[in-house]
Chains A and B, each alone.
Chain A
Amino acid sequence: DQQVKQNSPSLSVQEGRISILNCDYTNSMFDYFLWYKKYPAEGPTFLISISSIKDKNEDGRFTVFLNKSAKHLSLHIVPSQPGDSAVYFCAASPGGGGADGLTFGKGTHLIIQP
């Protein structure tokens, strides 16, 4: 049973436009959410996170939105750049101190077209 779902395996966006990556979760115990970016044959790189007490967190071109009632979060990248082409993973944690591992979605492959 997948507790974190990224239903779009891939997404193609034109350079300069907005990229919106979506993520849904089923476990109500999750209260901290993270986005990671991964290039082939490399480890994931932490991008941005959000606590369940917030509904928005912004860091430069990256903004994460959280809708707790819908159990849905999204990552917005504006403007999209060629270097943003990568696989993006959504991850969730039940909190409680942070020692537990993260639960990841299957990832969305973002392709930025020139």
Chain B
Amino acid sequence: SQTIHQWPATLVQPVGSPLSLECTVEGTSNPNLYWYRQAAGRGLQLLFYSVGIGQISSEVPQNLSASRPQDRQFILSSKKLLLSDSGFYLCAWSNLAGVYEQFFGPGTRLTVL
């Protein structure tokens, strides 16, 4: 069966510091991968998605970037965090074969102080 991992589970970082969140998927090949953010009192906002290694699509202009160095690894990064980057970050995967359901990881709670 497929599983998706995210780490760390929680993170407290000062403004201006760098960020690296990692997501890995097991039990599937060539998944679509996604990064979402849930800010306080808001829904889930799509940040990035990837259909393959090295292929990244960005949905909103922002202070963050994403990379996919391996088929089942998706990384969210920032060079300098802002206060507004605080939120709950979720990684998700879906099957490339036209199935629309996405399956989410446990999330990372990021607090920027």
Tell whether A81 is near chain B: CB-to-CB under 8 Å. no
A98 near B105 (CB under 8 angstroms)?
no
Distance between Cα atoms of A9 and B45 in the complex (Å): 17
Contact A43 B104 (CB under 8 A): yes
Q: Which residue of B lies closest to A107 (CB)?
A: B43
Whether the pair A49, B100 counts as a contact (CB closer than 8 A) is yes
B46 close to A34 (CB less than 8 A): no
Separation of A104 and B43 alpha carbons in the complex (Å): 6
CB distance from B7 to the nearest CB of A (A): 13
Compute the total of residue contacts between A and B using a CB distance below 8 Å: 68
CB atoms of A42 and B106 under 8 A apart: yes
CA distance A89 to B32 in the complex (A): 21
A interface residues, tally (CB under 8 Å): 27
B96 at the interface (CB under 8 A from A): yes
Separation of A100 and B2 alpha carbons in the complex (Å): 20
**A102 vs B34: C-alpha distance in the bound complex, in angstroms?**
9
Asked if A102 contacts B102 (CB within 8 A), the reply is: yes
Residue of B nearest to A51 (CB): B100
Given A99-B51, A102-B46, A49-B106 contact (CB < 8 Å): no
Q: How large is the interface on B (under 10, 10 to 19, 20 to 34, 35 or more residues)?
A: 20 to 34
Q: How far is the CA of A43 from the CA of B107 in the complex (A)?
A: 6
Residues of chain B with a CB closer than 8 A to A101's CB? 34, 36, 46, 49, 59, 102
A69 vs B98: C-alpha distance when bound (angstroms):
25
Within A71-110, the residues touching B (CB, 8 Å) are 89, 91, 93, 95, 97-107
List A22-44 residues whose CB lies under 8 Å from chain B. 32, 34, 36, 41-44
Assess the B43–A98 pair: CB atoms within 8 A.
no
Q: A32, A43, A103 — which one has the most chain B CB atoms within 10 A of its CB?
A: A43
Interchain nearest-CB distance for B29 vs A (Å): 15
Known: A100-B49, A101-B49. A44 touches B96 (CB 8 A): no
Residues of A close to B65: CB separation below 8 A? none
For A36, the chain B residues whose CB sits under 8 A away are 104
A95 to B95, CA, bound (A): 13
7 shortest A-B CB distances, which residue pairs?
A: A43-B104, A101-B46, A106-B43, A104-B44, A104-B43, A98-B100, A32-B100
